[in-house]
Structure 1
Amino acid sequence: MRLTRASDFALRILILLLKTEGALSVETIAERLGLPKSHVMKIVSQLAAGGFVATQRGRAGGVRIMEDKGEISVGSVIRAIETEFAVVDCLGKSGPQCAFEPRCALKSAMVEATDAFLHVLDQYSVSDIAGRSQHPRLESLD
């Protein structure tokens, strides 16, 4: 499974917002993370649509992480940002019909693997990866 850079950027944005009091402008986020402003704008829009951040226009506006702070699961962020989880062509929305259907074991194995991958990511919160709370698996990496 391959994730896009958008997922990486989304998690970095959430970590930055978690470590910041108050709201940050899109410009400030882009500058602090060294990301193109256009990318940050698109990802912030996706994060807002997913309920992970709140945005407010105007002089006192900006982007802030929602009230539940870092309890957002990494898996839920990935699901909100990624549009395609097809590991093989036949799993894609417009993938080709498999010559081995309906007995193809590869398709079900790949679906199971993708589900397991996302399940592991669901066990980590943004707070866990930001280092603000302790998680048993992260402690073992020290």
Structure 2
Amino acid sequence: MRLTSFTDYTLRSLIYLGMHRDQLVTIQDIADLHGISKNHLTKVVHQLGVSGLVETVRGRHGGLRLAKEPADICIGEVVRMSESDFHIAECFDSTRQGCALHQGCALKAKLNKATEAFLAVLDEVTLAEMLPGARSTAGAAILGQPIVFHPLPKAGTA
């Protein structure tokens, strides 16, 4: 499964805002850190505002901040909100039935079950657990180590 860049930027924005709870953050701050388009990020932040996850402060010294506590933000809900669909194969799209095997094929049911399992894991994770230094109940607690995030490489670099 692959998440869209919109979801990637949504999660990165929330993590950054969670890391900077004591100050207002600008879209440009987030765009510069990750080397991503400010225009695309503006759409992401707008959706976060509409969803009630982010609060915007207008004006010369304005910016963004989380509208909820990180512990109250469910990553599974964020992913569902930011993904337009979970069509991981052509057979999930009712407008495209190009597969000759779709009548008796069990693959769609298995892929659907896998998608549900993927989202179920994310439903157990809050933004608070995604912040650097946080201990994840799902992963790090089992390993006994904190999760450490490193900035992702800028687009076009490896």
Under a length normalisation based on structure 1, what TM-score does the superposition of the two structures give?
0.85
Query: 1:8-47, aligned counterparts within 5 Å?
Result: 8-20=8-20, 21-47=22-48
Q: Which consecutive residues of structure 1, in runs of 5 or more, have no partner in the other structure?
A: none
Q: Tell me the equivalent position of 1:52.
A: 53
1:75-104, Cα deviation, whole Å (9 max, x unpaired): 111111111211110102533265455543
Which has a greater percent of helix? 1
Residue of structure 2 in register with 1:138 after alignment: 140
Q: Deviations over 1:36-63 (max 9, x none)?
A: 2112101111212222111232224221
Paired residue secondary structure (2:2): coil
CA contact (8 A) 1:18 1:70 kept: no
Distance 2:117 2:13 in 1: 25
Q: Structure 2 regions of 5+ residues with no counterpart?
A: 146-158
Number of paired residues?
142
Identity of aligned residues (%): 35
Distance 1:79 1:106 in 2: 22
Hey, what does 1:81 align to over in structure 2?
A: 82
Q: Is the 8 A contact 2:14 2:66 kept in 1?
A: yes
Give the alignment's Cα RMSD to 1 decimal. Answer: 2.1
Distance in 2 (alpha carbons) for counterparts of 1:17 and 1:70? 13
Alignment of 1:57-76 (within 5 A): 57-76=58-77
1:110 Cα deviation after fit: 1.3
Amino acid at match of 2:28: E
Partners of 2:94 and 2:43 lie apart in 1 by 23
1:91 is aligned to 92
Tell me what 2:5 maps to.
5
Secondary structure of the 2:68 match is coil
* Paired AA for residue 81 in structure 1: S
Q: Give, in angstroms, the shift of residue 71 of structure 1.
A: 2.8
TM-score by length of 2: 0.78
Secondary structure at 1:63's aligned position in 2?
strand
